[in-house]
Chain A
Amino acid sequence: MKLTKLAAIAVAAVTAATPVLAELVFPSLSYRTGAYASGGIPFADGYADYFTLLNERDGGIGGVMTSVPECETGYSTEKGVECYEATKGGSPLVYQPLSTGITYQLIPKVTADGIPMHTMGYGRTSAANGNIFSNVFNYPANYWNGASLAINHILDLNGGDISGKSVALVYHNSAYGKEPIRTLEELSTKHGFDLSLLPIDHPGQEQKSQWLQIRRDRPDYVLMWGWGVMNQVAIQEAANIRFPMENFIGIWWSGSENDVVPAGDAANGYKALTFHNVGSDFPVYDDIQKYVVDTGKAAGAGDQIGTVVYNRGLYAAMLAAEAARTAQEIHGTPDITAAMMRDGMEALEITEERMVELGMPNFGPSFKVSCENHGGPGLGAVAQWDAAAGTWSLISDFGPSDMDVIQPLIDADSAAYAAENNIEERCN
């Protein structure tokens, strides 16, 4: 009982200390600890730095300052719930949990509370169907796009015919890792390749037996749906069995510097998908240096700037800020609410001109969100690691994924969700 009282005092003090200034609040459910911190830290840094940049350079969005309260989830769903409830009271505009597990949990909650959630390149893929999922967005690309993009790349390498080839999927044994399986199965019947599945349990430090199996079966290509420490271990194991790195393709969550650097030169040639550009050769980085880094306001240790996942955090923040701006225009008020933010996200249009204005030319695809389509165009490219130079570089253009296969799957899965939860289609 004593502890509850202390907690009561603590929480009361916290709520009392929160300032009531009008701010645009973008909570960051980050994870800077645990087995997935290698991905969580750069994303959280990029996300926070972009809003710091907006505050310092432009005075916020539409004249209203932004704030990014952080809450540590450690990639755990229980802490994710705690963080959601803890930040919900501070009129948050959009949630980005960066965890598929937490996303599944928050989908019904955010829908009931009327707060939008943006799960960029992760989460529940069928949330792309805005007809059913009113408050969840996963533009510009999702896992099923990723699966199709990886197969498209393999098709390109083989002149369009991969029948009889074998592809192994090494995946994190969780909702995240299981997401692409259905699409890959469809694609394997369509293109006639053999698919084998190799699950790896959390946290993914133990993968010897899976790679032994790969060494024995000698698949032509290995795809990976990994995250955190699992990526580094997998790339090291692949190097140990001398698997040709150019035939090893990771999803966008398995392709950051943190994943390839530990394997050294052996990781040279490893490929990963991406739905945004890599590197720090963009005008926006000059501004970040000037307004954020030089003023000592960089988030975290400030050592992640320009890395792949940092870029992704930056991109996520940019899309959120643009959606907030759109919402301000639609509703004619700078002080938007979560419901207005949702409208802004649904009306979001990213054009190349706007990207140039933002100092991010060719950083990501141009796209338009609509009521029916919360998933964006699903474009993606392949990046390759150059171990000697220590850089990722794009080796393909941003190409389309096979929507003929993906769209029926999205429709079927979202229809199942709608039936389970009695949701009506809302866009008609």
Chain B
Amino acid sequence: MFYREAGDYKKTYAEDTQTFPIKLDRMGYYAILAIALIVIPIMLANDVGGGANYWANAILLPFLIWAIASIGLNVLVGYCGQLSLGSGGFMAVGAYASYKLMTSFPDLNIVFVVILSGIVTALVGIMFGLPSLRIKGFYLAVATLAAQFFLVWMFNKVPWFYNYSASGQISSPTRTVFGFEVTGATATPEAKYLFCLALLIALAWVARNLTRGRIGRSWMAIRDMDIAAEIIGVAPLRTKLSAFGVSSFFVGIAGALFFSVYLGAVEVGEAFGIQKSFLLLFMIIIGGLGSIFGSIIGAAFMVLMPVLLKNIMVGQLGWATDIAAHFEFVIVGALIIIFLILEPHGLAQLWRLLKEKLRLWPFPH
């Protein structure tokens, strides 16, 4: 009734192939962008309702950064079908690359630092993607698991990466964008938020356009049947390695932001351990493989759900913190299982079905 494409005429090819062909969708997208880009920063800057720091540092920043990372992993796993468990290690590459760049070139703008860290990670990712040319599926997952452990071990073992500090911790110095501090302890929540948001929007746009173009189609061809793809002229070498490169680029940028903007100080084993690789994989499975929207909603689910549960159980119900923490594991775990049973294609598929229903509503036949 409200949500339909009837009467929404397309006159050009570009209009027909746009990301949101239905007008209501498009309006919704612009509304969300407006809220994210204008309303939330203003609320953060004026500290509406108190706790702007809490909102930015505990909820919004991790959500934005994990969303970037999960788009990256979705390119590899969801679009190209190459299972990877090395994402924690690749995030560590991004983080340490940004640390080395920040400390070696203090005058380099943080934007370039982040992008260069992404490029470094892309190169490392391509290197670890080489085995994918020979092995597939679970065996590839094991090979990328080796990347995870090797990279973490390396950043712990080689003191050059942490500038020979006594503890092996790296901490990010203060850096600015257009005169606003975005890293370091004195950066305002709205500056950090906008910096990460801008990167997420830009990268999501890049990912969306990559995945629906020639490159994305070749990824999907390889995913769906690699032999058939090869026969119709898709080069497996270039396709798989480009997926590894693009995916690692995203994950590396997320790692750089995770270290420099969000946490400010990390040690590799704790911040980028194997559990981060699993978390990221859960995000895209829950969100929906092969969907940009799914990556974002999956990240939201995995980041916000524990915080929400904690606030309800400890803040509202006044439970003991340890009982709440244990229940949090139980509830999040149960929700993951329930979602996977009810909707194996993730939250994105739920959303797709909902839209299908809404198109016909209130006349289902």
Q: What residues make up the interface of A, taking CB atoms closer than 8 Å to B? A: 1, 3-4, 6-7, 10-15, 17, 30, 32-33, 37, 41, 70-72, 74, 76-78, 81-82, 85-86, 88-89, 100-101, 104-105, 107-109, 111-113, 124-126, 173-176, 178-179, 181-182, 199, 201-202, 300, 413, 416, 420-421
Q: Which of B198-206, B209-217, B268-276, B281-289 contacts its partner?
A: B268-276
Return B295 CB to nearest CB of chain A, in Å: 15
Q: Is B37 an interface residue (CB 8 A)?
A: no
Return A45 CB to nearest CB of chain B, in Å: 11
Q: Which residues of A contact B315 (CB under 8 A)?
A: 10-11, 13-14, 17
Q: How does the 8 Å CB contact mask read for B170-186 relative to A, with 1 for contact and 0 for none? A: 01011000000000111
Q: Which residues of A contact B324 (CB under 8 A)?
A: 72
Residue in A closest to B304 when the chains form the complex, CB atoms: A3
Q: Which residues of B contact A124 (CB under 8 A)?
A: 167
Please tell me which one of the listed residues A11, A300, A420 contacts residue B311 in the complex, with CB atoms under 8 A apart: A11
Q: Is B358 an interface residue (CB 8 A)?
A: no
Query: Would you call B300 and A3 a contact (CB within 8 A)?
Result: yes
Please tell me which one of the listed residues A70, A85, A175 contacts residue B58 in the complex, with CB atoms under 8 A apart: A85
Q: How does the 8 Å CB contact mask read for B249-284 relative to A, with 1 for contact and 0 for none? A: 000000000000011111101110100000000000
Q: Is B7 an interface residue (CB 8 A)?
A: no
Q: Is B81 an interface residue (CB 8 A)?
A: no
Return A40 CB to nearest CB of chain B, in Å: 9
Query: Would you call A85 and B53 a contact (CB within 8 A)?
Result: yes
Query: Would you call A14 and B308 a contact (CB within 8 A)?
Result: no
Query: Would you call B311 and A7 a contact (CB within 8 A)?
Result: yes
Q: Is B50 an interface residue (CB 8 A)?
A: yes
Query: Would you call B267 and A33 a contact (CB within 8 A)?
Result: no
Return B109 CB to nearest CB of chain A, in Å: 19
Q: A3-B304, A11-B51, A15-B51 are in contact. Are A179 and B58 (CB under 8 A)?
A: no
Q: Is B326 an interface residue (CB 8 A)?
A: yes
Query: Would you call B53 and A108 a contact (CB within 8 A)?
Result: no
Q: Which residues of A contact B322 (CB under 8 A)?
A: 32-33, 37, 41, 72, 300
The A-B contact count (CB < 8 A) is 142
Please tell me which one of the listed residues B32, B174, B263, B270 contacts residue A1 in the complex, with CB atoms under 8 A apart: B32
Please tell me which one of the listed residues A1, A88, A111, A179 contacts residue B166 in the complex, with CB atoms under 8 A apart: A179
Q: Which residues of A contact B54 (CB under 8 A)?
A: 11, 82, 85-86, 88-89
Interface of B is mostly: helix
Query: Would you call A3 and B301 a contact (CB within 8 A)?
Result: yes
Please tell me which one of the listed residues A10, A41, A175 contacts residue B167 in the complex, with CB atoms under 8 A apart: A175
Q: Which residues of A contact B300 (CB under 8 A)?
A: 3-4
Query: Would you call B304 and A175 a contact (CB within 8 A)?
Result: no
Q: What residues make up the interface of B, taking CB atoms closer than 8 Å to A? A: 32, 49-51, 53-55, 57-59, 62, 103, 156, 165-169, 171, 173-174, 184-186, 262-267, 269-271, 273, 300-301, 304-305, 307-308, 310-312, 314-316, 320-322, 324-326
Closest A-B pairs by Cβ, 4 of them: A32-B322, A108-B185, A175-B167, A14-B315
Q: A11-B51, A15-B51 are in contact. Are A72 and B173 (CB under 8 A)?
A: no
Query: Would you call B270 and A4 a contact (CB within 8 A)?
Result: no
Q: A85-B57, A112-B186, A202-B269 are in contact. Are A14 and B173 (CB under 8 A)?
A: no
Q: A4-B300, A10-B315 are in contact. Are A175 and B185 (CB under 8 A)?
A: no
Return B102 CB to nearest CB of chain A, in Å: 10
Q: Whole-angstrom distance between the alpha carbons of A413 and B273 in the complex?
A: 27
Return B276 CB to nearest CB of chain A, in Å: 10
Q: Whole-angstrom distance between the alpha carbons of A63 and B124 in the complex?
A: 61
Return A125 CB to nearest CB of chain B, in Å: 8
A-B contact list, 9 entries, CB within 8 Å: A6-B308, A10-B308, A17-B315, A81-B57, A85-B53, A113-B185, A182-B166, A413-B166, A420-B173
Known: A7-B59, A88-B54. 19 other contacts (CB 8 A): A3-B305, A3-B308, A6-B308, A10-B308, A10-B316, A11-B55, A15-B49, A15-B51, A17-B315, A74-B325, A78-B263, A101-B169, A104-B169, A104-B265, A105-B265, A108-B264, A199-B156, A420-B103, A420-B171
Query: Would you call A174 and B270 a contact (CB within 8 A)?
Result: yes
Q: A13-B316, A32-B325, A89-B54 are in contact. Are A101 and B307 (CB under 8 A)?
A: no
Q: Which residues of B contact A112 (CB under 8 A)?
A: 185-186
Residue in A closest to B59 when the chains form the complex, CB atoms: A7
Return A77 CB to nearest CB of chain B, in Å: 6
Return B310 CB to nearest CB of chain A, in Å: 8
Query: Would you call A178 and B185 a contact (CB within 8 A)?
Result: no
Please tell me which one of the listed residues A17, A201, A300 contacts residue B269 in the complex, with CB atoms under 8 A apart: A201
Q: Which residues of A contact B326 (CB under 8 A)?
A: 33
Return A235 CB to nearest CB of chain B, in Å: 22
Query: Would you call B53 and A7 a contact (CB within 8 A)?
Result: no
Return B44 CB to nearest CB of chain A, in Å: 13
Q: A3-B308, A10-B316, A89-B50 are in contact. Are A174 and B267 (CB under 8 A)?
A: yes
